[in-house]
Amino acid sequence: MPNISAAERDGQNDGQSPTPTAEQSPVLLLSMALTEYAKARSASQSGARRSLGIGEMDARALAYLTENPGARPSALRAHLGLTSAGVSTLCDRLIERGTIHRDTDPSDRRASLLTVIVDLDAEPWNRLGEFDRDLAEAIEAEAEPETLLRLAELLTHALSVGNTSSADAGADAGAPGQS
């Protein structure tokens, strides 16, 4: 994403979202829209988690286990980047809350399998995905599938280039003779 000068961010210093103008470049307008999207999604998810009384890691664990029913705690640990003790604590908390169930793996009695036992598509759990569903419906009603596919391709490419540049910068910073 481009660096945005203060002059181009009219309205951001007063805490208000900038109003796009015709003079701003399309790249800047898209960057501003993506920034506002990220803020709105984060606020929506934070509010949903707060109303459900769960933390971000709990929500991420539920999402992962919904997509991967019967996953082992080690898979959840790898996905979330937590320690074994952290995953154990998280699983105990979710089991106590009645959101997941732990079963013994029939092929290895030393291992356990985790399964979500709440329906994330039903109230009140559907609040976690409400923002994404509402946004998808609004976009689908306004845009052609080909346009959405092209935008997805552009964003995926831009993110891969950005991630590659960030990784290269990190590697260069640690190289001898670099400052």
- Closest by Cα among 69, 50, 53 to 61: 69
SS (H, E, C) 11-45: CCCCCCCCCCCCCCCHHHHHHHHHHHHHHHHHHHH
* Average pLDDT score over the chain: 86
The answer to the question of residue 163 being in a domain is no
User: Could you report the per-residue pLDDT of 48-57, keeping only the tens digit for each?
Assistant: 999 999 999 9
The answer to the question of residue 1 being in a domain is no
Q: How far, in Å, CA of 11 to CA of 14, rounded?
A: 6
The answer to the question of residue 68 being in a domain is yes
The answer to the question of residue 20 being in a domain is no
pLDDT at 4 over 70: no
Whether 57 and 82 have beta carbons less than 8 Å apart is answered as: yes
- DSSP-assigned letters across all residues of 122-146: STTGGGGGHHHHHHHHHHHHHS-HH
Domain that holds residue 144: 26-157
User: Could you report the per-residue pLDDT of 13-47, keeping only the tens digit for each?
Assistant: 445 555 666 678 888 998 899 999 999 999 999 99
User: Could you report the per-residue pLDDT of 60-92, keeping only the tens digit for each?
Assistant: 999 999 999 999 999 999 999 999 999 999 999
Q: What is the pLDDT of residue 162?
A: 73
Assign residue 81 the CATH number of its domain. 1.10.10.10
The answer to the question of residue 84 being in a domain is yes
The answer to the question of residue 168 being in a domain is no
The answer to the question of residue 128 being in a domain is yes
Number of domains forming the structure of the chain: 1
The answer to the question of residue 15 being in a domain is no
pLDDT at 7 over 80: no
